[in-house]
Amino acid sequence: MKTKLAIEGRRFKINGKLTYSEIPGNNPNVHGLLMNARFIQAVFDDKADPGRFARFGRNRWDSEQNTDDLIKALPEWYACGLRAFTAGFQGGGPCFTIDNDSIDNNPFSEDGNAIDPAYLDRMERLIQAAGDLGMVVIVSYFYQGQSKRMKSGKTVRNAVRTASRWLRDKGFTNVIIEVANEYNVGAFKDRPLISNPEGITTLMEIARQESGGMPVGSSGGGGVISQEVAEGSDIVLIHGNGLNRQSYYHLVNQARSFAPDKPIVCNEDSQLVSMLDVAFDTGTSWGYYNNITKQEPPTFWGLTNAEDKFFARRMARGLGIPVSPIPEEEQYVLEGLSGPWQQSGERWIRLVAENPITVNFVEFFMNGVLVDRAYQEPFLVNYRTTWLQKGYKTQKGDKWRAVINLVDGGTLERNVEVE
């Protein structure tokens, strides 16, 4: 492997050097961080009904193309400062369109002693490609939406051993193991070996031993941190879903009080890019999560317009990577009304700002009628929480207008006609 990850106290090293220390003249406070993104569907497939993912402008679903497209996109993300991403054996939920209970994205055998070779092949290609670039893969084993397919605690234990031994036998040196994505949420309640802190720390120890000592952690739901899990982790994995900057700052401080000498890595949050301010101020690593373009298969792995590019630009600036200024008219985008992302006439509409702190609130109009107001980043129509919104029925020819009320008292407008 061309990439060897190491941990030195709170900081990460790649090939013996603190991450980002290779960037000339940047702030030493960012050295050793591991900025990342949630690419959880990197090896996704669906044994139940794969044809339903022939959508969003794609005429067929191809799990191999899905992984290969991510591999092709990695250099672009690396250039902006991304050094890690999370990929899951059991993927994650398409939050907006399809009930995850109907999806069979479980590569583990019924007894946990084998993994579908196609999944292993995709994961191997991905980890190798990331290593060739100097990137780390956070390999996540379990997702609550697939937990019903894990028939018993014995199956779970066997699956941890099987996956960990495979990682060890492949000789990967650029992997972090996340035993479970949000161990305490949803259907994991039916698997107490995962959902109980005592149980998940036991599984983490199995993973550490069977992998030959790879760094291990396990995330809780948004805002959740367990002292027992933090103390049993090599890397303290946290999620910021649903939090604002103040509550996220509190979460970081709580995690640090439990594990003062370990790195803290958020590997899932939202499109709330101003969280990067907290990450840089606290010397912790943050994980971008675009659950529209990056978690609704078929995923679009490149830097799509607005959210992805604004995150990448803010991350790059914070790390000391030069970023060219863009004109004001490109700093605020009414997003979701063009392109292929729609299902049954519904679209996920939002106002995206490179610097959201400049926005007081946003008013959304369709055909001249006010349909919603958004007072909080991310500025979503049909807001539910920072990482979730409901779709809005709209059709070709509808005229949408966003009135952006700025903190300084000014206003801007963005107008889009639905394609």
Domain boundaries, the chain: 5-319, 328-417
Question: Under a CB-based contact definition with an 8 Å cutoff, are residues 157 and 196 in contact?
Answer: no
Give the residue among 189, 284, 198 at the shortest CA–CA distance from 239.
Answer: 284
Q: pLDDT tens-digit profile of 208-259?
A: 999 999 999 999 999 999 999 999 999 999 999 999 999 999 999 999 999 9
- Percentage of the chain exceeding pLDDT 70: 100
Residue 407: burial class (beta carbons within 10 Å; 0-12, 13-18, 19+): exposed
Q: Could you tell me the pLDDT band of residue 197, with boundaries at 50, 70 and 90?
A: very high
**Cα distance between residue 19 and residue 76, in whole Å:** 18
Cis previous bond, 378, omega within 30: yes
Would you say the C-alpha torsion 73, 75, 81, 85 has a positive or negative sign?
Answer: positive
Handedness of CA 270, 272, 278, 280 (dihedral sign): positive
pLDDT band, very low/low/confident/very high, at 328 (cuts 50, 70, 90): confident
What's the pLDDT at 173? 98
Domain 5-319 grouped into CATH 3.40.1390.10? no
Q: Considering only 36-40, 186-190, 399-403, which range has the smallest mean pLDDT?
A: 186-190
Look at residue 367 in the predicted model and tell me its pLDDT: 98
The topology under which CATH files domain 328-417 is: Immunoglobulin-like (2.60.40)
pLDDT attached to residue 419: 83
Tell me which residue of 237, 303, 312, 238 sits closest to 276, measured CA to CA. Answer: 312
Q: Quick check: 55 pLDDT over 90?
A: yes
- Specify the pLDDT at position 46: 97
Render pLDDT for 338-388 as a digit per residue (tens, 0 to 9): 989 999 999 999 999 999 999 999 999 999 999 999 999 999 999 999 999
| Percent of the chain scoring above 90 in pLDDT | 97
pLDDT at position 69, please? 98
- What does pTM read for this prediction? 0.97
